[in-house]
A and B are shown apart, each in its own frame.
Chain A
């Protein structure tokens, strides 16, 4: 740990980075969180804390047609929709946590509660020590919400005008404003577009401007609600790279919701899976694979000289056959048998290449979201 201080507590090797913050690797981070209660003397703040946070919406149901409309004039049926049920979790400084779930699972509702946009109907939450829905200015100066589906900038103005207004709203000093704008517009490569009306920008450029607008005041908490939605692959990659760099530099607590698994895999070490408003998983990406994927994928590329291999019963005995043909065999093999099966394949066939991979995270999450029961 060059240039840093070495601190070993409870068997965990911690270091101080050049900004005086504790730096720990992913594995230790999880352990550290567990033993945090006993380390009150250390600076290890939970930036976001949710405790049994719930939100129930009351919606009105109207029967279709003219009759339904007439009936609704006198009496409307009320339906309660439990958008979020008793969600409890914590997010630390510098963490990017992915919120994953199907449409209507409660991701955006959860983010809106933590950003102070909507009131919960139950439970408690603290963001930097404040109840978000009380909307204290001291908190609002330290948070940001970026919604991929909802523009925050003024449509008819050049982004630069909106940024000037935000400078006033957040009371950013001239020097900090210039430095931050220069850094953000440079890294996102949109310096040339700052003076163009927002409505004349491409979707990718607009999203980059939204990011600048949200981060100008260097928030300590950033909520990202589908920031890459609708963007092409290049723009998606640019946004992801930017977020990683921003996280390294500023270490905010970030919560990200996205339907793109690549966003989650690239940006988040930890994910929270929501199903019908309930948290069904909270842990690292590796853990979700270990917990829910009972198999690995073994792929064999046969030598060019090998005779064709049919979907033989002996192959099915080794595992579930995904692909068999054109010189490729792809099997799904239970975790405990991977080494044996690999050995068996090498023994039986003229193998040119062999790969053992974890199951695709997206597929695993999809499977979890489909299930109504808990983990196996």
Chain B
């Protein structure tokens, strides 16, 4: 119940900023999708070939459009939720007083903050099936598998970001760590380049890291590239990573709270 209340309050808060909503939709997501489309078109035009890996030009554009939409949900408001800011500026004090879990509280806030992102994704993604009709076969089953994968990816991305930000208990600045995490997730998660363009040995290694389960895995599920067994195995690995990162987070939290000063002496 508390989780739901926190989530809805955050959603209400986010939805009350109309200018932010429309600027986020048009300048943020819309511009990013536009850049990806023009970049993909330029790559194909310059290379002169009709296919790059398994992708045609339309297939590549579709990939980049959908990965942007998926990433918008998976990443949510990662940089803003400020676990490290709470530690540096003493905002954590409030949460330490509450008889509730800080991690769950923050995650509920993150989910609430997703509300405007979801509407933006629906608004900008509504035209995709019409423009790219016939390019990929999306079934009800693959859509459900994709939604489940996005949900786990959202949790995993949140946990990775939170664990990195918990380092703020010891380090004076964790910005560089957060940027490194963002780049690693984008590069090895299939956000920048489809993972199928990586050499097989690299793909085999990456499959054991958390990154492919952030963006590439939900897309593979959506486009029907995963058998039910592959999907179940991928979900198991992603959930395993969630558990592992959550345990690491718990350890860092316990040790970090011994260091916490609540700002000022």
Contact = CB atoms under 8 A, between A and B. Distances in A.
A135 interface: yes
A164 B8 CA distance: 11
Interface in A143-172: 143-145, 147, 150, 152, 154, 156-157, 161, 164-165, 168-170
Contacts of A143: 97
Interface stretch (B88-96, B146-154, B193-201): B88-96
A170 B98 CA distance: 8
A30 B185 CA distance: 63
A83 B260 CA distance: 14
Contact of A104 (B5, B100, B258, B265): B265
Nearest to A152: B94
B100 A169 contact: yes
Interface residues of A, number: 34
Contacts of B94: 152
A119 B93 contact: no
B99 interface: yes
Contacts of A119: 257-258, 260
A117 interface: yes
B261 A154 contact: no
Contact of A117 (B6, B12, B96, B99): B96
Nearest to B98: A169
B49 interface: no
Contact of B264 (A108, A141, A157): A108
B261 A57 contact: yes
A118 B259 CA distance: 8
A81 interface: yes
A169 B93 contact: no
Nearest to A117: B262
Report, nearest first, the 6 A-B pairs whose CB atoms are least far apart. A137-B99, A140-B99, A168-B5, A168-B2, A117-B262, A152-B94
Interface of A: 57, 59, 81, 83, 104, 106, 108-109, 112, 115-119, 135, 137-138, 140-141, 143-145, 147, 150, 152, 154, 156-157, 161, 164-165, 168-170
Interface of B: 1-2, 5-6, 9, 12-13, 16, 90, 93-94, 96-100, 257-258, 260-262, 264-265
17 contacts: A108-B265, A115-B97, A117-B93, A118-B260, A118-B261, A140-B97, A140-B99, A145-B97, A147-B93, A150-B90, A152-B94, A152-B97, A157-B13, A165-B5, A169-B2, A169-B98, A169-B100
